[in-house]
Homo-oligomer: A and B are copies of this chain.
Amino acid sequence: MDYDRPLFYRVMRYAAEAERDTIDMVSGSPDWEAPESLRRGLREYADGDADSFQYPPSAGLRELRTEIAERRNVDRRQVIVTNGTGEANYLGMAAALDRDRGEEVILTDPVYPYYPGKTDLLGGTASFVPTERDGQLDPEKVREAASEDTGLIVVNTPNNPTGAVYPRETMEALVEVAEANDAVLLADEVYDHFDFSGRFESALTIDSDHRIVTSGFSKSLAITGFRVGYVILPEELVDPARTRHMLVNVATSRPAQAAVLTALRETSPEYYAEVRDLLRDRIETFTDALDAAGAEYTTPEGAFYVLARFEDFPGTLSNVERLIDEAGVAGMPGEAFGSAREDWFRFALVTPRAEEAADRLAAFFD
């Protein structure tokens, strides 16, 4: 099985071992600073008493679940704090499939590769609906693909890798499709703080017991290594998901939960706005330089990835390696995300050298 992470690591290792200076646009790891309150929260935790180093509640620190529930306008009981959004997606997908109402999992193409990976792990069967040229998902195509075999539909908005932000009508239609087929819609909203379109709306605003939402703090607080995420479940799926969480992980790491709790309470909206401004600047300078290189590209409405295509140079792993060796820029091959973007490369804007990277690409393709 060739999932996202191994390919990430393979590309990153290749880049690290390259002779020349390489600009890393591979990973989804922010290069900006976490909020200062997060560091303070972690220091304060380090000075706590012996009892605070012991098991937290399996579903997560009560205060953290309260903060999340208040922000997301749900009942605290619906929230499980997980080992990153990765575990949140795993728990949500498992809870949906364990209902035994269909083992088919509808995914998009392009797709975040962990979704088909988790589908395999959970014994489901993946079925792919292609997205539109601009990355948007036509819910009518999902409606056509869905049947009584469908147990689960997984979407990601704002989307990795396309940068699309699905409008509310799309999400409403997807929830309808899930309800009509006794399936569950799982919306992974981990990039919810990175909406440049102004039209992102959480699926939580659509009331349904056929809807699961996952998210986390890896991107919004710039802490992919802390592994703190959460899943918000309909009432009837809470207990099965809690049981699985307990049997797999017992609980989520407490120092990380404590630091996130402090950061959530004390980080001002300006922090998030400044990161968005930084990313808007990077998107502009990077895509301007891609224009100069004559490349086709997507301008993300959300998240922080740009897909780009160069004439007669498809997005294969070997071409990724050529770009590292000959242009000094490391991206992800489009073929990592399914069949729909095989001609493309994904560049993550997690480096202050985005403009320089685009200039290098322009020079290479000149």
Which residues in A have some Cβ–Cβ distance to B below 8 Å? 1, 3, 5-6, 9, 27, 29-34, 39, 42-43, 45-47, 50-58, 83-84, 86-87, 90, 114, 117-118, 121, 222-228, 243-244, 246-256, 259
18 A-B pairs with CB atoms under 8 Å apart are: A39-B46, A42-B42, A46-B46, A54-B224, A55-B224, A56-B225, A83-B249, A83-B250, A83-B252, A86-B250, A87-B248, A90-B249, A117-B247, A227-B253, A228-B253, A253-B253, A255-B256, A255-B259
Query: In the assembled complex, which residues on chain B have CB atoms less than 8 Å from the CB atom of A30?
Result: 50, 54
CB distance from A358 to the nearest CB of B (A): 23
Q: Find chain B residues with CB under 8 A from A57 CB.
A: 9
Q: Nearest chain B CB to A60's CB is how many angstroms away?
A: 12
Copies of this chain per assembly: 2
A54 CA to B248 CA in the complex, in Å?
Answer: 23
Q: Tell me the nearest residue of chain B to A98, going by C-beta.
A: B121
Q: Which of B31, B225, B244, B254 contacts A121 (CB 8 A)?
A: B244
User: A244 — which chain B residues lie within 8 A by C-beta?
Assistant: 121
A27–B54 CB distance below 8 A: yes
Say whether B29 contacts A55, CB under 8 Å: yes
The answer for the CA separation of A45 and B34 in the assembled complex, in Å, is: 13
Task: Report the nearest B residue to A121, measured CB to CB.
Answer: B247
| Contact residues in B for A228 (Cβ distance below 8 Å) | 253
Is B248 a contact partner of A227 (Cβ separation < 8 A)?
no
Contact B248 A226 (CB under 8 A): no
List the 10 shortest-distance A-B pairs measured between CB atoms, nearest first: A225-B254, A253-B253, A29-B54, A86-B250, A42-B46, A227-B253, A253-B256, A55-B224, A255-B255, A54-B224
Task: Name the B residues within 8 Å of A87 (CB-CB).
Answer: 248-250
Separation of A249 and B248 alpha carbons in the complex (Å) = 10
Contacts of A224 in B (CB 8 A): 53-55
Given A58-B5, A255-B256, answer yes or no on A86-B53 (Cβ-Cβ < 8 Å).
Answer: no
In the bound complex, what is the Cα–Cα distance between A1 and B247 (angstroms)? 11
Tell me the nearest residue of chain B to A239, going by C-beta: B1
| Alpha-carbon gap, A61 to B61, bound state (A) | 26
Q: How far is the CA of A241 from the CA of B9 in the complex (A)?
A: 17
Residues of B within 8 A of A243 (CB): 1, 3, 117
B83:A55 contact, CB within 8 angstroms = no
Central interface residue in A1, A29, A255, by most chain B CB within 10 Å: A255
Interface centre among A31, A34, A246 (most CB of B within 10 A): A246
Pair B50/A247 contact, Cβ less than 8 Å: no
CA A238 – CA B121 in complex, angstroms? Answer: 16
Instruction: Name which of A50, A90, A247 has the most chain B CB atoms within 10 A of its CB.
Output: A247
Task: Determine the chain B residues whose CB is within 8 A of the CB of A3 once the complex forms.
Answer: 243, 246-247
Say whether A114 contacts B247, CB under 8 Å.
yes
